[in-house]
Amino acid sequence: MTTTSKPRPTPRGEEAAYFDAAREHRLVFQRCQSCKATANYVRAICPTCGSTDVGIEDSAGRGTVHAFTTQLLPGGPGFADDVPYTLVLVDLDESFRVLADLVDADHDQVRVGTRVEVLFDDVDEELTLPRFRQVKEAS
């Protein structure tokens, strides 16, 4: 184990709702009450129509890999023990995207379109990070 710490998210304003929900093991997204567009992160104004009538909904936490990259070299000194690791851009079934890392994965098996599901990593008492794992298909 290294003593170098990883960078931490510093959510501000409406972004805090995403991390507050993650601490409760909920993956949330924004849905505009005017035009029904979805967004992530949560904002004060709908990025599609400009309405301030926005709400927060819970996701079922399942989606497909839209894009991915496997890091063979650490992205910073705090990640030296993690390589190789895979970052995935996930299209959630509710039509919003999340960038996170893929855990418990066979990095050679990840493809665009791979089905994934969220899990919650309680980093410490103040921070929980949503991560994803590959959905194991029934055989």
Residue numbers of the site for Zn ion (CB under 5 A)? 32, 34-35, 37, 46, 48-49, 51
Distance in angstroms (rounded) separating the CA atoms of residues 44 and 52: 6
DSSP 43-56: -SS-TTT--S-EEE
For Zn ion, the closer CB: 37 or 87: 37
Question: Looking at beta carbons only, is 30 or 86 nearer to Zn ion?
Answer: 30
State the nearest-atom distance from the C-beta of 123 to Zn ion, in Å.
33
Nearer to Zn ion by Cβ, of 9 and 55: the residue is: 55
Would you state the structure tokens that stand for residue 104, as one six-digit string?
Answer: 């418990």
Residue 106 CB, shortest distance to Zn ion, in Å, is 39
Tell me the closest approach of the beta carbon of residue 31 to Zn ion, in angstroms: 9
Given the complex with Zn ion, which of 4 and 51 has the nearer CB atom? 51
Contact call for residues 16 and 10 (beta carbons, < 8 A): no
Residue 38's contacts (CB-CB under 8 Å, 6 or more residues apart) are: 29, 30, 31, 32, 94, 95, 96
